[in-house]
Structure 1
Amino acid sequence: MTTPEQAAARLVPPRVILTDGVYEAVKTLIMDGRIPPSARVNMDQLARALKVSATPLREALARLESEGLVTKEPLRGYSTTPLLTRTEFDDLYELRRLVEPALAASAATRASPEDHLELAAEIARCPDAPPELGDYRTYRALFEHDVRLHDLIARIAGNQVARQALRRLHSHLHAFRLHGGNRSGDCTRAEHGEIVDAVCLGDPHAAASAMSAHLRTARHRAPPFQD
């Protein structure tokens, strides 16, 4: 069986030792469960596997802490966070269903022609869905599009408090850790397109409805919890 350290060594190209590369490598290990939930991160071993010094690794872990993937405890260092419980996962999506339809409606009334172009460009950037179940790297482009699109709508809506709150939820990351990749990419593209169409038409009711439907189906697409 491949150890986390062996897997980590393959994730950073030789001689390309950048903080971003280290961040993506450690994030991939966590998202794919190579570093399991609730596990202590052995910085010495990980630094050796990635062939980096402690400084870029610490910077990467600080970024991952802001995303809720690791926590830091005094005198103990970093550990990966536990998986969400069924209740926590449902509560996360319930909060999104309360907030994001209102943001979509607001975006529909506030969006400028420049915003319309930016929304259309983001839809055009949506990658094809991977044909098979895959690891985090397989789904990374689709996840990043998802994050950008939802953040863009919140930005256009003009509610910075709600935007920052949604950023802190990191629901996409938690969903992947719980359930892994799935074949929902084509559905995501279509649902995002309906939201953007409504926003660009200036129809707040349709925008809110499309966002509500998207969040509802996104939650139901996740496989059931194993009790």
Structure 2
Amino acid sequence: MTQATPRGRARPARRLTLTEDVYETIKTLVMDHVLPPSERVNIDALARELDVSPTPVREALARLEADGLMHKRPLVGYTTTPLLTRAEFDDLFDVRLLLECAAAARAAANASADDRMRISTETNASVGVEAGDGYRRHAAFTAQDARFHDLITEVAGSPLLRDAITRLHAHLHLHRLYFPVAQATDTITEHQHIAAAIALGDPDAAAAAMRDHLTASRQRHLPAFDQMPPEDGPATAV
């Protein structure tokens, strides 16, 4: 994948798998704040910088809008979304606690033997945080984290519940805000507790394990707000 240079400029995208490469490149620029929050995106300028036509850039921006990382407004075009405020951060976790604990309980009640195996396999996948700086170092970890939570909602068996959780785009919003590198192994351990409760077919234990995980995750992300008043937004970002 194409990566931003140390000076924050984007290298030209490779011609192989062009559409995906442009998407991942722009996504990285957003996650690393090279394209700052609430910044208007100039499609033609970005296409020149990536050495591609505007078409794959537009396609990438449309996907990023679906990811919750871009807004599109008539006569204005695309702008990057703002970072979560402290109030939005708290609201996000309150909603996650309501939805994802219910999803974990339903998954424990509904999981087939194959479902339990898939959850166990995803939980035990060896994905860590790489050396280096910025989003690229934890992109694989973020994707695996999101896959685990999505699999729980899939197994829960409620398309409406899964859609509501997916639309939060929680992992991208949180890891754009701040990534708690030192506690990555804690996340893996917490996922294992959730998976174990689902494997046992214990809805109460699965909901409790998910609640413990989300409560701990909330605490891990709070350093983003330590240096500024809540209304001013996060002080730290990856």
TM-score of the two chains, using structure 2 as the length reference: 0.88
| Closer/same/farther in 2, CA of residues 184 and 50 from structure 1, 3 Å limit | same
Write the deviation string for residues 82-110 of structure 1: whole angstroms up to 9, x where unpaired.
11110011000000011111111111111
Q: Answer yes or no: is 1:8 the counterpart of 2:10.
A: yes
Q: Which residue of 2 is the match for residue 164 of structure 1?
A: 163
Structure 1: runs of 5+ lacking an equivalent: none
User: SS state of the match for residue 181, structure 2?
Assistant: coil
Q: Distance in 2 between matches of 1:64 and 1:135?
A: 18
Q: Is the 8 A contact 1:5 1:45 kept in 2?
A: no
Amino acid at match of 2:116: H
User: SS state of the match for residue 167, structure 2?
Assistant: helix
Deviation at 1:68, TM superposition (A): 1.2
| Closer/same/farther in 2, CA of residues 127 and 43 from structure 1, 3 Å limit | same
Q: Distance in 1 between matches of 2:185 and 2:120?
A: 17
Amino acid at match of 2:156: A
Q: Which residue of 1 is the match for residue 127 of structure 2?
A: 127
Q: Which is worse superposed, 67-76 or 175-184?
A: 175-184
Deviation at 1:130, TM superposition (A): 4.1
User: SS state of the match for residue 100, structure 1?
Assistant: helix
Q: Answer yes or no: is 1:27 the counterpart of 2:27.
A: yes
| Closer/same/farther in 2, CA of residues 210 and 42 from structure 1, 3 Å limit | same
Q: Which residue of 1 is the match for residue 234 of structure 2?
A: none
Q: Which residue of 2 is the match for residue 100 of structure 1?
A: 100
Q: Kindly report which structure 2 residues correspond to 1:193-212, keeping only aligned pairs within 5 A, or say none.
A: 193-212=192-211
Q: Which residue of 1 is the match for residue 236 of structure 2?
A: none
- Cα root mean square deviation, aligned: 2.0
Amino acid at match of 1:190: T
Q: Which residue of 2 is the match for residue 83 of structure 1?
A: 83
User: SS state of the match for residue 40, structure 1?
Assistant: coil
Write the deviation string for residues 23-58 of structure 1: whole angstroms up to 9, x where unpaired.
100000000000000101111111011111111111
Q: Which residue of 2 is the match for residue 139 of structure 1?
A: 138
Deviation at 1:128, TM superposition (A): 2.4
Q: Distance in 2 between matches of 1:175 and 1:159?
A: 25
Q: Distance in 2 between matches of 1:181 and 1:29?
A: 19
Q: Which is worse superposed, 21-30 or 120-129?
A: 120-129
Deviation at 1:138, TM superposition (A): 0.5
Amino acid at match of 1:124: N
User: SS state of the match for residue 71, structure 1?
Assistant: strand
Q: Is the 8 A contact 2:194 2:206 kept in 1?
A: yes
Amino acid at match of 2:213: H
TM-score of the two chains, using structure 1 as the length reference: 0.92
| Closer/same/farther in 2, CA of residues 72 and 146 from structure 1, 3 Å limit | same
Q: Is the 8 A contact 2:11 2:49 kept in 1?
A: yes
Q: Which residue of 2 is the match for residue 118 of structure 1?
A: 118
| Closer/same/farther in 2, CA of residues 84 and 38 from structure 1, 3 Å limit | same
Q: Which residue of 2 is the match for residue 213 of structure 1?
A: 212
Structure 2: runs of 5+ lacking an equivalent: 230-238
Q: Which residue of 2 is the match for residue 44 of structure 1?
A: 44
